[in-house]
Structure formats: C-alpha cells, structure tokens
Structure 1
Amino acid sequence: MMEQKNLNWAVLGTGVIANEMACALQKMDKKLYAVGNRTYDKAVAFAEKYGVEKVYDTIDEMFFDDKVDIIYITSPHNTHYDFMKRALENGKHLFVEKSITLNSRELDEMIALAKEKDLILGEAMTIWHMPLYKELWCLVESGELGCVQMITVNFGSFKEYNMKNRFFNMDLAGGAMLDIGVYALSIVRSFMSEAPTDVLSQWRPSPTGSDEQATILLKNGASEMATVALSMHSKQPKRAMISCEKGYIEIMEFPRADKAVIVDAESGDRREISAGDTANALYYEMQDMETAVLTGDDSILKLSYSKDVMDIMTRLRKEWNMKYPNEIW
C-alpha cells in the first residue's frame, strides 16, 4: 500500500513549463510550496500568481530547505547538471525537464549519485507518462498487432534564424537533437523491445554550428528498425507511425498525444483509441513522480529509457563533433 504523505514541490525556473507545473499541482488539489529563479523579481511575480508560499532569495537556498521533498528543474538544459548535483547532494528527489542532461557522462553521474543517496530521479518526458502510451504499449506487448517492424517519426519546427535564442545558440546548448530529437528518440525507444545498437545519421549545421537538421536510422538486436527526421528550420508534422506485422499505429502531435489510429494491415479498417487529455500532460507526469517517491519504485519513470535515448544523442553528437562550449563528454 502506498504511503500517504503530502509532498512539497519546489520549482526552479519560472518559464512556460513552470507555469504549467503550477497549474498541474492545482489539478492535484495542491499548492506549489516554493519557487526559485535567477531573477528574483520573476520568482516573486510567479509566487503571487500561483499563491506560492516560499520565494528564495537565491537558488541555492532551495537545495538546503528541509521542507522541500521534490524539486522540478525547468531551467535551460545546459544548466541542469550543476543544479541536479547540488539538489541530490542535499537529499532532494528530482524531476528534470527534457533533455535531462547534455550528455551521457552527466546523466550517468547523476543516476549514480541518486542511487547513492537513495533518491528518486526522473525526466519530465511526456511520452513516459501520457495514458495513451501506457495503453498502446500494452496493446503492442499483447501481440495483437504482431511484432514491431518499423517506426517512422517526424518532428520539425520552423524557427527564424535568431542566433541568440536557445534554438540555435551554442552557449545555451541549442539545436534540434536536445530540443525535439529527444521526443522522437523517446517514442522510438518506448516501442522497441530493446535499445538500438546500430545508429546511422546525416546532419546539417546551422550558422552557429548547432544541429539544424538531421535524419537518423536505427536498428536493434531484434531487427526492429526506425527512421527519424528532425529540423529546426522547416516545418514537419509531429507524426509517429509504429508499423507491425498485422497493422500500424499512427499518432499525430505525438509528444502529448491523447489519441491514436490503428489500421488493420489486411482489411484497412481504422479504429481510434483515446486516453487521457493533452491538456493534462504535466499532471500525469507529476502524479507518476509522486507515486515513485511514495512507493520507492521508480520503474514508472522509465529512467533506463531516458539513459538509452541520451546515449544515442551523445553518440550522434560525438560523431558530428558537435560539442557545446565548456562541455565535458
């Protein structure tokens, strides 16, 4: 039986995700306990908006507050590693926005530190938590559609060439891979029975040297294959297709999907599956995080999948020699 305890959440950052997180807590009939931000005035305004009890003068205060159970890190991903290390060293469970770290070295260190401190660490990857995917994984695992054969994923955004913003700025760890590729590779990993071992790619840099565009081919030991097409400067649908022996699953707007279409390979008959609600994406994430903390079982967070995805992204960037300033691989 799950221990009943009111867990106090603190959020680091006050951007879009932090606002969604505060709203998600309200849906859980809870209030956000505390907020910290590099700009104090923004933290104060955020606290006033959501009735947050505690505002920290400095971010470091958050890590030493005994009342904090879980910290949700929503700051830019190039800042995650340092914040994660300080939080874990001070006994805080951590939920971290994607991409959870910059590379595999950072993530492996943080996984080891969380284990050493007996703390829960999870990536706020919507795909791990949306009810639709939990139903679809069960459907695929049941064998009703036969074995997974091929997965195809597209994700493209048209971002103007503003080389100072986070999409292209190397100092902010810009590029398609860590911003949108992490979603595409996560859905691929979630429907593969084991991690890909064969990975091939092509890429095109932006004027800053960030990865503007890439195509990726993946294959695992079970001969399941995938293709991924990413772009930060050309629009594509957020579309995923999981092709099995007896039919295929098509998912539009896949990062926060709440419906999918299943097409029978022989008859062509189509049926729609609906589960959850796109608008509640962070609510599902945070419910799963609380379950993991209260039970001590982090399997629901799929951190091993986050590691597999990070290993692929790091491998590709190394092949491209696309290293961020001051990054240590």
Structure 2
Amino acid sequence: MKKQTVNWAIIGPGRIAKKFASGLKEVPGANLYAAASRSLDRAEAFAAEFEADKAYGSYEELVKDENVEVVYIATPHVFHYENTLLCLKNGKAVLCEKPFAMDTEQVKEMIAVAREKKVFLMEAMWTQFLPHFKFVMQLIQKGKYGKLKNLKADFGFHSPFNENHRLYNKSLGGGSLLDIGIYPVFTALSALGIPEEISAKAKLAVTEVDEECEMIFTYKDGIEAELHSTVGRKTPTTATFLFEKAVVTMNSRFHEPTTVTISTEKGEKTKEFGVTANGYNFEAAHVQEMLRKGKTESDQMTFEKSLQLIGLLDEVRRKIDLVY
C-alpha cells in the first residue's frame, strides 16, 4: 500500500467506535469510508454522523467492498474472533479492539489466519501508542531512576447492576477483567514482563462475571505488581511505579492521554504531553504506517505481546474460576 489515503471501515458502531472515528479525523491520510452493523439504520446513522461514504446492514456486505482496506472491529468481546476471521479471510487488514479474543486458542487461530493470508492484524491496545505511556516505559528501560521495585495500577468505575448490560452479561464476555482489568495487566506486562507467580481473587456478580478483581503478579527479587479492576465503584485509575530513586505516577485514567508526575528527593514535577486529540489517533496512525510499509504485523503491539496478554488474562480467569 503506497497511496497516501487509507480507506477505513468500522464494524460495530457503538460508543468506542465513535471515539475511534473521532480520533481518526486527526490522522493524515485516514478516510472513514464505511460502517457496518447488524442494523442498517444504526450503520446509516453512524455513517451520517462521521461522514462515511457507505453504510452496510451486514458485516458480510462490508468485507466484499473492494474499497475497504482496513477494518476496525468494535463489537462485544465474544464476537472479536469471528469478526476478525471474516475480515482476514476476505483480505481486509484488521485492527481489533481489546481483548483480542476470549482466550489464547482463539488468538492463536486469528494470528495463524493473518499469517496464512498475509494480511495485517493488530490488537487495538491504544495505550501502547500514547506519549505518556511510551515515556514511562522508556524510563524503565533506561533505568533513569534505578530499578523498578513495585507497580500499583487500578481501573474502576461504577456501573449499576443490570443483568442485560454488556458489562454484566456473561454471554457477551462481561466482567471487569476483560473490559478494564486488561489495562493494569497490560501495564504490568509492558513494565515487568511475564510474572513468575499470579494470585487473584474476585467478587462475582449474580450473573457469574467478575464485578471486581484483585491480582498480584510476583516477579523475581520479590518485585510485585498490585493490580485491581472493578465496575462496582470509582477508583483513582492511576498507575504508580516505585523506583529506587523516584515514584512515577501515570495520573488519573492512565490508560488514556494524561500527565505523569515524578517525585524524587529533589521535589515533584508533573509532565504534560500536549495531546489535543482523544488519543485513538496514535494507534490508527501506526496501523497506516505499517500498511504503507507492507507489514502484516505491528512492530510495537506484536503478536507475541498479544499472546502474552491473553495468556495472563486466561491465568487470572483460572484463578478466579471465571469460565465463559
């Protein structure tokens, strides 16, 4: 793909898709060409709102459109696997929302099909591409403040119980872990790698999904990552890194564009990153860069990292007896 304009399509035009479409407007050379939903009316409303050329009442129609080059999949978790395979088998590059799929076996098959078809595939873990997140990961890699000794990361908001809501519906992959707990887990993976031991406990809703999940990842030398997610109450939603010579905090709603506060014996300072868009633009721009280079795998959000991430989520689910 050498041309400057990239034709995007969106499957699943819901709340997250609207955020992505807004971010896409900030990406040079990005054109939101089409949207698809199982409801044509919904697809048409979304297309009108974001000035897309086409609206489809089925995903099958969308993937047959020769003008579609890359598809952003924003359907509920349980549909990521089948939606991704549909796109890949029809030669469409895919950026699929997190979690990539429901378990490791599904992710492995998605990757295998992408490789077989030689089509680009990436998990839409947008935090990976945000400037503040990259900044903190570089601090860790460079050892500027010494070794990382501890990590605490949480993500919580209050969603009143509703057995039919996606968050509490087991048939849609509900629960806090896959929806928001994935962000603390991803942060620990990025900062510290694969833990030697995982312990976890959860508070289950009556629908048998985790309303709240507490995790401890233990690494060599006694380093721990204390991770927490909940849809039952609002929490600070920060990520705090304890180094030998500093405490570094990704401030509230750390998974999206935010500031970073660094505290040392010399005092405290807060760094801003000048992000004016909503942040989804960074991952979309990366996908376009990969496509223009003829890549079929991201060099940042790699297949290996997605496999490691889903592997950690699978292990936590085993620990809390959460079976979908």
**TM-score for both structures, normalised by structure 2:** 0.93
Query: Which residue in the other structure is 2:152 paired with?
Result: 152
How far did 1:41 drift?
A: 0.4
Unaligned runs of at least 5 residues, structure 1: 325-329
Query: Which residue in the other structure is 2:12 paired with?
Result: 13
Deviations 1:155-204 (A, max 9, x none): 11211111110111111111011111111111111111x32231111112
> 1:233–1:120: structure 2 CA closer, same or farther, 3 Å change rule?
same
Query: Which residue in the other structure is 1:317 paired with?
Result: 317
Instruction: Report if aligned partners of 2:72, 2:95 keep a CA contact under 8 Å in 1.
Output: yes
Query: Which residue in the other structure is 1:327 paired with?
Result: none
How far did 1:150 drift?
A: 0.8
How far did 1:135 drift?
A: 1.9
| Structure 2 CA distance for aligned equivalents of residues 321 and 31 of structure 1 | 43
> 1:315–1:67: structure 2 CA closer, same or farther, 3 Å change rule?
same
Query: Which residue in the other structure is 1:281 paired with?
Result: 279
Deviations 1:245-295 (A, max 9, x none): 11121112101033100111xx15112222242743111110111112222
| Structure 2 CA distance for aligned equivalents of residues 278 and 89 of structure 1 | 37
Query: Which residue in the other structure is 2:290 paired with?
Result: 292
How far did 1:311 drift?
A: 0.6
Give the AA of the match of 1:286: A
Are 1:96 and 2:86 counterparts? no
Instruction: Report if aligned partners of 2:23, 2:277 keep a CA contact under 8 Å in 1.
Output: no
Query: Which residue in the other structure is 2:78 paired with?
Result: 78
Query: Which residue in the other structure is 1:28 paired with?
Result: 27
* 1:1-329 matches, cutoff 5 A: 3-29=2-28, 30-192=30-192, 194-221=193-220, 224-252=223-251, 253-264=253-264, 267=265, 269-277=267-275, 279-295=277-293, 296=295, 298-324=298-324
How far did 1:63 drift?
A: 1.8
| Structure 1 CA distance for aligned equivalents of residues 71 and 39 of structure 2 | 18
Instruction: Report if aligned partners of 1:258, 1:278 keep a CA contact under 8 Å in 2.
Output: no
How far did 1:4 drift?
A: 4.5
| Structure 1 CA distance for aligned equivalents of residues 2 and 47 of structure 2 | 29
| Structure 2 CA distance for aligned equivalents of residues 33 and 306 of structure 1 | 28
| Structure 2 CA distance for aligned equivalents of residues 318 and 276 of structure 1 | 41
Instruction: Report if aligned partners of 2:150, 2:243 keep a CA contact under 8 Å in 1.
Output: yes
Unaligned runs of at least 5 residues, structure 2: none
Deviations 1:81-102 (A, max 9, x none): 1111111111111101111211
User: RMSD across aligned C-alpha pairs, in angstroms?
Assistant: 1.8
Instruction: Report if aligned partners of 2:20, 2:280 keep a CA contact under 8 Å in 1.
Output: yes
Instruction: Report if aligned partners of 2:89, 2:117 keep a CA contact under 8 Å in 1.
Output: yes
| Count of aligned positions | 320
Instruction: Report if aligned partners of 1:251, 1:257 keep a CA contact under 8 Å in 2.
Output: no
| Structure 2 CA distance for aligned equivalents of residues 315 and 298 of structure 1 | 25
SS in 2 for 1:299: coil
SS in 2 for 1:229: strand
Instruction: Report if aligned partners of 2:26, 2:277 keep a CA contact under 8 Å in 1.
Output: no
